[in-house]
Structure 1
Amino acid sequence: MESTLLEEVLACPSLPSLPAVAVRVIELTADRNVSLKELADTIQNDQGLSSKVLRTVNSSYYGLRTRCSSINKALVMLGLGPVKALTLGFSLVASQEIDPRGSLDLVAYWRRGLYTAVASKSIAEAARMSFGDEAFLAGLLQDIGVMAMHQALGSKYDEVLRAAGGDHGKLVRLELESLDMQHPEVGAMLAERWRLPNELVMPVRFHERPTAAPVDCADIVRCVALGNIAHDVLTDADPGAALKRLYAKTDQWFKITPSVLDDTLRVVAQATKELSSLFKLQTGAACDIDAVLNTANERLSEIRPPLSTTSTSEDGLANLLAHDANVDPLTGAMARSAFDTSIRWAFGVCKTQGGPIGLVQVSIDCLDAAHARGGHELGDQVLVGVASLLHKHFIPLGGVVCRLNGGLFSIVLQGVTNTAILRSVSEFRADLERGWPRWKTQTGQTLEGMSASVGIACRDPQDPAGLGSPSELIIAAARAIQKCREESQAGVRTSMAA
C-alpha cells in the first residue's frame, strides 16, 4: 500500500467524522455494565437523533405492540443492541452527507449499504446468531472507505469510479492497480480511528474477501459478505447467478435452506423499502421480490450444475455434460444421454472413493391436463417452472438435474447423505405447492391443481445387499413413484424406496 497516498487520505480534513453523541455512545457501550439511564440521557441530548430513533422503533420494522415514547423505554423494550445500532446508524448516515458532484453515485452507494445492512442482520437472525444488530451496522459501514477516498483524492478517485462503471468487484481491482490501496482497508482504518469495536472493524476490512477473516470474527464477516450478494440478487437486472451463489454460500456457511433464504429475502426487500424512508436515503425504486425470485430461478435452469466430488473423473464428466447435445432446450436440464453418463459416473466414483448415491425422480402427473387446458404454452410453463425449482434445490447439493422424457425429471446425487436429500425434496415440494398458481398462459389459463409424484432411491455403500447397479437404483426410484400414484390424495406426493 502506497503510504504517501494513504497518509493523504487519512489526513484529509473533510473525511467523514462521527457526531459527538455517537462517539459517547461508543464509549459507554464499550462497558458491559453501562448505565442504561446514562445512555438514554446521552442519546436524548440530541433531539433530532432521538426523534429519528423513536420513529424507527415505532415503525412496523420492529413491530412493537405498545408505542414507545422515550429512549429509556426503547432500551427496556428492545434492549441495548437495536437502540445502539439505530443511534450509530443514523450518525453514520449523517457523517456521510456530501456534495453529490463527482463520479460517486450516491443512490447506488446507499442502496448497497442499506440492502447489505438489512440482509446481513436478517441472515444472522436466520442462522440464529446473536450479532444481528452489529451485522446491520457493519453492512451500513462497509463502504465508508469509498466515501473517504472520494472525499480525499477527488479526481484521482473519480477516474477509478468511472472506470469501474458501478461494478463493485471491478472497483476493488482497479483501486489496487491505480492507487495501490483498497477501500476496505481504508474504511477499516477510519473505523479504528473512530474507536469502533472490533466486530465492526473486521467486517469492513474483510467484506470483499470473507474467507481471509480471523476465526473469531468469521461469522459476522460472512453475514456481511452474504448481505452483499443479497444486494446483488435484489438489484441486478439478471439475478440468477447471484442467487445461485447466495444459495450455495448460505447453505455452506450456515446451513440455511433455499426456502428459508427466499423468505429472508422477502423480509429484506420490505424492510429496506421502509428503512430507506425512515433514514431519508435515496435507494432507487423498490424491487418486486416475487418477480426477482421468479426471474432468478428461471435463470438458474440455464446455469450448469457443479458436481459434488473433486476427482479427476469429475473433469471428464463436466466436459462431457457441457455439450449442447446433452441439454434439454426447453428447460435447461440435462438430457437423457447426460443422465445415463452421470449415473454410471456416480457408481464409478462410489466404487473407487466410496460415498452414497441418491436418485430423485419427479413425475409431473398433471402435464396432460395442462396441455388439455392451455395447450403447449401452459405445459411448457409447468415444465420450465418445475425445472427451475429442481435447479434451485438440488444444484447446491451438486445434483445433476435431467429431463428424461415428457414430464419425468431425474436428479443424480453423488456423495450426498439421505438426510440432505430428504430435506431438499421437502423444500422442493413446499415450493412447488406454493408456486404452481403463478404458471399461466398469456390469455390467463392456469392449472386447476398441481399433481406430481416424487420417488427417492439411495445406495448406501456400507450395505452389501443394497442397490448395486444403476439399473437397480432406477427401478427402485420408479417403484417409489408408482407407490405415490397409488395414493388417492392430490397434490405432490413423495415416497422413498425401502
Structure 2
Amino acid sequence: MTLERVLAAPGLPSLPAVAIRLLEESRQQDVDVNRIAELIASDPAMSVRLLKAANSSFFGFRGEVSTVNRATALLGAGGVVSLALSFSLSDDALKMGRTAEAYRAYWRRCVVQAAAAELSTDLPGEGGTGGRGATPAKGDRFLAGLLCDLGTLALLKTCPAEAAALWSDAEENRLELSARERAEWGFDHAAVGGALAARWGLPEHLAATVARHCDTPERLESAIAGGSLPASAVPLARAAVLASAVGDHVCGADAGPALGRLHHVAGTLFDLKGEALTAYLEKVLERADAAAGLLEVDLGQIGSPGDLLAAANEHLAELATRRAAEADALADRHRKLEAEHRDLQQQSLRDSLTGLYNRPYLVEALRREVSVCARTGSTLGVIFADVDRFKAVNDTYGHAVGDRVLRAVAGAFAQVLRRTDVPARFGGEEFVVMISRPTEAGARAVAERLREAVAFTCRSVGGIEVKTTASFGVAIAVPLDTQDAADKLLAEADAAMYEAKKTGRDRVVLRCLLSPEEQRLHAAVAGRRFSRWLSASGAIPVRDVGAALTDLTPPDSPLGALARAVGVLDEIQTDMIADVQQPGERFGESAVRLGLLNSEQLADLLARQQEDPRALADALIARGHADRAEMDALLEAHAAAGPSFAPLDPNLVSA
C-alpha cells in the first residue's frame, strides 16, 4: 500500500469533461461568465441541477431563476464552478454494495464540512479575514470544505477493503485517523486528496488546502511561518482545518476527544469560544441540512449542538472511567512486576541455601564501601568466619545435616548483626561480614557475639547433637581507594581466621591495620560523634540513641565542604590543600600537615562527616525522645564541648 499505487489505480475518481473545461475557464485572468453559462448548458443534467440549486432555499434568491445565464450571473463564475464540481463528485453518494455505508458516511461529513468552511467567512479573528491574501468567497470555502476528504473518496474507490478495515480499526480503538493511516501506510488521506486535487488541475491554493486540512493549528501556523503554504491558501486552509474539526465533532465516533479538538482549533485560529461557538455550530447544522438537499445527500440523524455536547460529555465520562480502570490495572500490574523484579533481584544477590548475600554481592558492596570510607577517612571492618571441623560433620551425618548446620550458622548471624552490616556466605562453610565505621573494640565485640551465637545455636540441629563452632578473623582499616583495597582487607581477615584455627578454634583473632596515629584519631572521632556524646552524658538512653541512628543515612559530605561550612577553612585554602596532597595522603592529613587544621578540629569534622548531629536530633524528636528546645540545648552543649572553629592563622585565611 503506497501513495503511488493509490494514485496509479484505475478506479481513481475523475472529473467529467464539462467540469474540467469549467475549471480551465475559471482559471483565466478575465473569466467570461457567458462562456461558463455555455459550458453548463452543454450538459443538460448539470443545467437542470444548477437551476434547481439557484431556486433552492440554500441561496434564497427572489423570484424564479429560469435560465442558466441568469443563474450564472447571480451565482458568479466561482459559485457556478463550485456547484458543478460538487454535483460531479456527489454522484458517488448513491453508490451501492458493501461500501455503500462508507460512501454515505463520507458524504454526510463532506456536506457538514462544506457548510462549516463556508460560514467561517463570518467568524471573528485573523482566520475570518484571512490575515494574508484575499479573503476567499463563500463558494470557494464551500468547495474547500466539500473537498477536504477527497482522499477518502479516492481510497474508497481504489482499495476499499484495506481502507475500510483500517478505518474500522481506528474507530473501534479510538485512534486518531490520520495518525493511524500514517502508521500503517506511511501517508494519510489528506496527502492522497492533495495529490489528486493537483492532478485534476485544481487551483494551487485549493490543492494545498486539501493536503493540510488534518493539521493541528500549531502545524498549520508553522507551515505558514515557514513559507511552505502559498499565501493565497492561508485563509482557506484555516477554514478547512476548522471544518475538519467540526466534521469530527458532528460525524465522528470519538465524540469526547473530537470536542476537545474543536475547542482548541476554533479558539486558536478564530478566537471562537463559548456561546459564540455554539451559535456557529447551530448555523452550520442548519446550512448543512440545506446543502444536503441541494446535493441529494442523506444526513441521517444529526442532533442539535446541545445533543452533540451531551453525547461528547457522556463519551468523555466513559473514557475517564475506562482510563481510571486501565490506570488501576496498570498500576496493579506494575506493582506485581516490581515485586517480581525485587524477588528476582534478591534471588540473584542471595545464597539459595542460607538466604544470606552471596559472594559476588559481598565483593561489590565491599568495593563500594572502600570508596566511601577512603573519601571520608572512616574505618571499615571485615569479619571472616569458617565453621570448625565441617568436613567431619558431612562425613559423619551426611550433607543434609551439613546443610542444616550452615543454615543454623546463618540464623545465628541474623540474631546478632545490625541492619547496616552485610553478611554473606563466601563459599562452602565460609562466611564474611562487612561492618562499616567500627572501632577496634566494636569490631572485636561483634565477632565475639557471632562466635557465641554460633556455638549456642549449633549445639544440635534437627535433633542431632553436633556441637558446631566457628573460628573468626577480623581486619579493620581505613582503606585507600585503590583497585585491590577490598581484596587486601579480605585477605587480612582470612589470614586472621586461619590464625584462630591454628591457635585452638572457636575464637576471634583481630588484625588492626590502623597506624598508631590513625588509632588515636579515630578514638577522638568516636568521642566527638553526637550519638556517643549523648550516651556518655546520660541525656538520652543508649537504646533510644541506637534506634534513632537506624533512621539515618550517613551524610557522606566531602571534608573540605564541611570545613568551609563551619568556617574553619575557606575555598582558597581547600583548593590549596587539594593541590598539595601527596600520593596516598588524605585531605585531613594534608590540612594538619600544612597547619590549617589541628587534630581536634579534624576529629570533629570527621565525626560530622560520619554522623550529622542535626539529623540525629531530628530523628530523636520524631521518635518522641525529646522536644525541639531540649535538643537545641543538647546540640549547643555538644558544640561547646568540642574544639574552636576559629581559623588557626588569620594570615592564612586572608592569603
Q: Give the whole-Å Cα distance in 2 for the aligned partners of 1:60 and 1:273.
A: 11
Is residue 233 of structure 1 aligned with residue 233 of structure 2? no
**1:194-343 equivalent positions in 2, closer than 5 A:** 194-210=200-216, 211-212=219-220, 213=223, 214=229, 216=231, 217-235=233-251, 239=255, 242-293=258-309
SS at match of 1:252: helix
Q: Deviations over 1:427-483 (max 9, x none)?
A: xxxxxxxxxxxxxxxxxxxxxxxxxxxxxxxxxxxxxxxxxxxxxxxxxxxxxxxxx
Structure 1 letter corresponding to 2:152: V
Do the aligned partners of residues 249 and 18 (structure 1) sit closer, same or farther apart at CA in structure 2, a change above 3 Å counting? same
Residue of structure 2 aligned with 1:105, choices 102, 106, 109: 102
Is residue 149 of structure 1 aligned with residue 155 of structure 2? yes
Q: Deviations over 1:162-216 (max 9, x none)?
A: 3223789633223222222222111111111110011210121111115344262
Is residue 133 of structure 1 aligned with residue 139 of structure 2? yes
- The aligned counterpart of 2:30 is 33
Is residue 187 of structure 1 aligned with residue 190 of structure 2? no
Residue of structure 1 aligned with 2:166, choices 138, 160, 171: 160
Q: Do the aligned residues in 1 keep the contact of 2:266 with 2:272 (CA within 8 Å)?
A: yes
Structure 2 letter corresponding to 1:264: Y
Q: State the TM-score, normalized to the length of structure 1.
A: 0.54
- The aligned counterpart of 2:48 is 51
Q: Give the whole-Å Cα distance in 2 for the aligned partners of 1:162 and 1:240.
A: 18
Q: Do the aligned residues in 2 keep the contact of 1:175 with 1:181 (CA within 8 Å)?
A: yes
Q: Which runs of 5+ in 1 are unaligned?
A: 305-498
Q: Give the whole-Å Cα distance in 1 for the aligned partners of 2:163 and 2:254.
A: 28
- The aligned counterpart of 1:91 is 88
Q: Give the whole-Å Cα distance in 2 for the aligned partners of 1:160 and 1:33.
A: 45
Do the aligned partners of residues 280 and 96 (structure 1) sit closer, same or farther apart at CA in structure 2, a change above 3 Å counting? closer
The structure with the larger Rg is 2
How large is the Cα RMSD of the aligned pairs?
Answer: 3.1
Do the aligned partners of residues 251 and 153 (structure 1) sit closer, same or farther apart at CA in structure 2, a change above 3 Å counting? closer
Q: Deviations over 1:71-117 (max 9, x none)?
A: 22123223223222111111122367645424972222112111111
Q: Deviations over 1:96-148 (max 9, x none)?
A: 76454249722221121111111011113322453232221122112222222
Do the aligned partners of residues 100 and 118 (structure 1) sit closer, same or farther apart at CA in structure 2, a change above 3 Å counting? farther
Q: Give the whole-Å Cα distance in 2 for the aligned partners of 1:80 and 1:166.
A: 43
Q: Do the aligned residues in 2 keep the contact of 1:206 with 1:221 (CA within 8 Å)?
A: yes
Deviation at 1:11, TM superposition (A): 2.0
Q: Give the whole-Å Cα distance in 1 for the aligned partners of 2:175 and 2:94.
A: 24
**1:310-459 equivalent positions in 2, closer than 5 A:** none
- The aligned counterpart of 1:70 is 67
Which region of structure 1 is more displaced relative to structure 2, 15-24 or 279-288?
Answer: 279-288
Q: Give the whole-Å Cα distance in 1 for the aligned partners of 2:177 and 2:101.
A: 12
Q: Which runs of 5+ in 2 are unaligned?
A: 224-228, 321-655
Do the aligned partners of residues 249 and 146 (structure 1) sit closer, same or farther apart at CA in structure 2, a change above 3 Å counting? closer
Q: Give the whole-Å Cα distance in 2 for the aligned partners of 1:161 and 1:240.
A: 18
Q: Give the whole-Å Cα distance in 2 for the aligned partners of 1:103 and 1:60.
A: 28
SS at match of 1:181: coil
- The aligned counterpart of 1:484 is none
Structure 2 letter corresponding to 1:122: L
SS at match of 2:116: helix
Q: Do the aligned residues in 2 keep the contact of 1:238 with 1:295 (CA within 8 Å)?
A: no
The share of aligned pairs that are identical, in percent, is 31
SS at match of 2:81: helix
Q: Give the whole-Å Cα distance in 1 for the aligned partners of 2:34 and 2:102.
A: 40
Do the aligned partners of residues 301 and 176 (structure 1) sit closer, same or farther apart at CA in structure 2, a change above 3 Å counting? closer
Deviation at 1:278, TM superposition (A): 2.2
Q: Give the whole-Å Cα distance in 2 for the aligned partners of 1:6 and 1:37.
A: 40
Do the aligned partners of residues 220 and 85 (structure 1) sit closer, same or farther apart at CA in structure 2, a change above 3 Å counting? same
Q: Give the whole-Å Cα distance in 2 for the aligned partners of 1:281 and 1:113.
A: 10
Number of paired residues? Answer: 301
Structure 2 letter corresponding to 1:142: C
SS at match of 2:176: helix
Structure 2 letter corresponding to 1:270: E
